[in-house]
Amino acid sequence: MPRARNTRRGDAPRSRQPPVERDPDIPHWLPAGDGWDKLPPNIREAVSRFIAPAYRRLVLEAPSEIP
């Protein structure tokens, strides 16, 4: 089946919803920008509820480096 003109493989339909704000505590190794917006809502919620608090406590607020 031929592809429509002016489309690239892997292009997902664009959502008309505004971009989702990232919590500043979200680890840097998670996607940002469009990558963050493309994550399923349940994954973004899990990151905000579980990953970000753990990252904040264990990394950002660590009392000292590992001896």
- The pTM assigned to this predicted structure is 0.56
Task: Report which of residues 43 and 1 the model is more confident about.
Answer: 43
57: buried, middle or exposed (CB in 10 Å: 19+, 13-18, 0-12)?
Answer: exposed
Residue linked to tokens 């753990």: 54
**Any residues with CB less than 8 A from the CB of 25 and at least 6 apart, and which?**
52, 53, 55, 56, 60
Map out the domains of the chain as residue ranges.
Answer: 20-61
Q: Which of 8, 10, 35, 7 is nearest to 22 (CA)?
A: 35
Per-residue pLDDT tens digits for 6-65 = 555 555 555 555 555 666 778 888 888 888 889 999 999 999 899 999 989 988 888 887
